[in-house]
Chains A and B, each alone.
Chain A
C-alpha cells in the first residue's frame, strides 16, 4: 500500500513560489486500479512523480507500507516500487533495441547477468513482444513502443504501475490493446495500477477515482459516486458517460431511475421501468 499524508508540493519560480499540490491524502491499496483525473495543469503529473518517489513533497509524506504493514514503513524507490510510464512513446525508450531497452532499468539495479537475461525474457513474454526482441524502437508502432516501455518498467518488478496519460497519443486500436494489456497484468500479477487519464473508458475500470482541481484533491471515490456528484464533475472538468447523461434525462421523469455508467446498465434499468 502507498499512503500519502498531507502531501503538498511547491516550486520556486522567478515569479515566486507556486503551490502545485496542497494537502493531498490518499491510499493506494495493493493490486487496486485507480484513476487520477483533472483539468490541464491541475497537478496530475506532479502527483504521479510524487507517488513514484521521483519528487519529494515540500511537506507531508509519501510512504510505502509493504502488504499494508504499518510497522515497516519505507520511502518509495522509483522503478523498484513504482514504475512510471509516460505519455510520449518516443521519449522514454533509451536503447537501440527492444531487448536492450528492457534491460536498461535492470542494469541500473546492478543485477547479475543471468538474472537480467531471465527478467528480460519474462518481460518480453509477458507483453507478447518476443518477435520484436531485436527491433530498433523507431520501427515499432506507438502502441508497441508503449508496451516496450511497460515491459521495461515491469522487468524491475515494481508493486505499482503508474500510467501518466500513457495511451493519450495512441490511435483507438492501439489504445484499447495497451489498456487490455494493463488490465491483464493487473489480474495476472496483482500489480497496482494508477492511470492518469482524460479517457472515460479508463476511469470506468478504476475502483477509485481521484479528482484533482487547482492542486487539491476534490474527491477520492468510486466512479459512480464521482459521476453522481455534479459539483465534482464540474470541478474536474469531466465528460459524463453517455449512459450517465441519459440516466439524468430519465431522472427528470422517473425520479428513482438509477445512475447508469454503461449502456448495459442503462438497458437493464430501462427494462425494469415497464
Chain B
C-alpha cells in the first residue's frame, strides 16, 4: 500500500483547537483573501501583517511544525528552482562573481521575496486543509457557490461529488496497486524501457481500472438511491454550522492583515 500512504490528499490533521473548530467557510474565505494579499505585496517587508496573522494561526492550531514542513516538501523543487533563477539571472550590482556566474544584490532581494511568497502561499493553504476536514471543506465550497445556484449551478451536487471523489481516492489507489501486482505476477513489466514501451505497459492497468470504476459508479448510484437520495431533492446537513467567537477573530484578523498589506503598498 506504499502508493496510497505516500499520497496524502488534503492533509487533514485532526485536532480540537479553536482553529479546527471555527467555521470552514470563514477559513476558506480568509485563505483566499490572504492569498490575494500575498500577491498584492510588492516588497518582502509588506508580508509582515500576513506573517504575524499566520504565526498566531499556526501557534493556536497546535498543529506541529513538521506537518507544515511536510506540506512544503512537494514544492521544494519549485522553490529551489525559482530562487536559483532569481539569484543568478537578475541584473544589477554584482556582489559576488565567479567566472561567468554573478550574484547581484537585486537578485538576492528578489529571490527572498519569491521564496517568502511561495512559502506563505503554501503555509496558508496547509493551515486550511490541515485544520478543516474534507467534508467541512466541501460544505464550505458549496456555501461559497450557493449564490450561483440561482443561475443554475448545482452547488450542493458539486460538493457531494467532491466528497465522493475524496472518499474513493484511497480505494481506487489500492485497486491500482492490486492490478499492478496482478499484472506483474503475470510477467508484465511496468515502468521499464523506452517512453513508448512504458506508456504501453500502463494499458493493462488502466483498462481494468476503468472497467471496475464504471462498475463501482453503477453500484454506488444504486446504493445512494436505496438510501433515499434523489438528484436535485433538498437535503439537510449533518454538520451544523455554529458561529464560533474565533470566527470573528479570523474574519477581523484577515481583514486587518490584508488591508495592512494594501495600505503599506500604497502609502509607505
Give B97 Cβ to nearest chain A Cβ, in Å.
Answer: 55
CB pair A91 B220 closer than 8 Å: yes
Nearest residue in A to B229 (C-beta to C-beta)?
A: A108
- Contact between chains at B135 and A100 (CB < 8 Å): yes
B240 within 8 A of A: yes
Given contacts A78-B228, A97-B135, A137-B167, contact A92 B220 (CB under 8 A): yes
Which residues on B sit within 8 Å (CB–CB) of A106?
Answer: 236, 238
Residues 103-146 of A, flagged 1 when their CB comes within 8 A of B and 0 if not, give 11111111111001100100000000000001011100000000
Find chain A residues with CB under 8 A from B235 CB. 107-108, 110
Say yes or no: B14 contacts A95, CB within 8 Å: no
Report the minimum CB–CB distance from B16 to chain A (whole Å): 12
Contacts A86-B219, A88-B219 given; indicate if A54 touches B229 (C-beta within 8 A): no
By a CB distance below 8 angstroms, the chain B residues around A149 are 223
Give a binary string over A147-176; 1 marks a CB under 8 Å from any B CB, 0 the rest.
001001100100000000000000000000
Asked if B135 and A95 sit within 8 Å, CB to CB, the answer is yes
**Residue pair A107, B236 in contact (C-beta under 8 Å):** yes
Q: Tell yes or no: B150 within 8 A of A by CB.
A: no
A37 within 8 A of B: no
Contact, CB under 8 Å: A83 / B167: no
B219 and A112 within 8 A (CB): no
Does B236 lie within 8 Å of A54, measured CB to CB? no
Check if A90 is an interface residue, CB within 8 A of chain B: yes
Residues of B within 8 A of A84 (CB): 223, 226
Contact A80 B223 (CB under 8 A): no
Contact B227–A112 (Cβ < 8 Å): no
Q: Count residues of chain A with CB under 8 A from any CB of chain B.
A: 43
- The answer to whether A94 has its CB under 8 Å from any CB of chain B is yes
The reply to whether the CB of B109 lies closer than 8 angstroms to some CB of chain A is no
**A28 adjacent to chain B (CB < 8 Å):** no
Measured in the bound complex, the distance between the Cα atoms of B242 and A117 in whole Å is 15
| A59 close to B (CB within 8 Å) | no
| Binary A-proximity of B127-150 (CB < 8 A = 1, otherwise 0) | 000000111000000000000000
What's the Cα separation between A134 and B16 when bound, in Å? 13
* Known contacts A103-B238, A116-B236: A92-B174 contact under CB 8 Å: no
Known: A78-B225, A104-B227, A104-B229. A91 touches B216 (CB 8 A): yes
Do residues A138 and B174 form an inter-chain contact, with CB atoms below 8 A? Answer: yes
CA distance A106 to B223 in the complex (A): 14
B234: Cβ under 8 A from any A Cβ: yes
Q: Does A96 contact B (CB under 8 A)?
A: yes
Bound complex: CA of A94 vs CA of B171, how far in Å?
12
Of all chain A residues, the one with the shortest Cβ separation from B10 is: A96
Given A91-B216, A113-B240, A137-B167, the answer on whether A96 and B135 have CB atoms closer than 8 Å is yes
CA distance A235 to B219 in the complex (A): 29
Answer yes or no: A8 CB below 8 A from chain B CBs.
no
Judge whether A79 and B226 touch: CB under 8 Å: yes
Task: Check B55 for interface membership: any CB of A closer than 8 A.
Answer: no
A42 at the interface (CB under 8 A from B): no
Q: Is B260 on the interface with A (CB-CB < 8 A)? A: no
Q: Tell me whether A108 and B227 are in contact (CB under 8 A).
A: yes
Residue of A nearest to B241 (CB): A113
Residues of B within 8 Å of A34, CB to CB, are none
In chain B, residues 40-97, which have Cβ atoms closer than 8 Å to a Cβ of chain A?
none
Q: Please indicate the chain B residues that have their CB under 8 angstroms from the CB of A116 in the complex.
A: 236, 238
Q: Per-residue CB proximity of B206-232 to A under 8 Å, as 1/0?
A: 000000000110011011111111100
A123 to chain B, nearest CB (A): 12
Give B185-216 as 1s and 0s: 1 = Cβ < 8 Å from A's Cβ atoms: 00000000000000000000000000000011
A113 to B237, CA, bound (A): 7
A2 interface residue, CB < 8 Å from B? no
Residues of B with C-beta under 8 A to A54: 222, 225-226
Known: A54-B222, A83-B227, A134-B14. 18 other contacts (CB 8 A): A52-B226, A54-B226, A78-B226, A79-B227, A90-B216, A91-B216, A92-B223, A96-B133, A96-B135, A97-B135, A99-B238, A100-B239, A104-B227, A105-B227, A113-B238, A138-B170, A153-B227, A156-B228
6 A-B pairs closest in CB distance: A91-B219, A103-B238, A79-B228, A92-B223, A108-B228, A105-B227
Binding site for B on A (CB under 8 A): 49, 52, 54, 77-80, 83-84, 86, 88, 90-97, 99-100, 103-113, 116-117, 120, 134, 136-138, 149, 152-153, 156
Residue numbers of B with Cβ under 8 A of A are 4, 14, 133-135, 163-164, 166-167, 170-171, 174, 215-216, 219-220, 222-230, 233-240
A-B contact pairs, 21 of them (CB 8 A): A52-B226, A54-B222, A54-B226, A77-B228, A78-B227, A79-B226, A86-B226, A94-B163, A95-B163, A96-B135, A96-B166, A96-B167, A100-B239, A106-B236, A110-B235, A110-B236, A117-B238, A134-B14, A137-B171, A138-B170, A153-B226
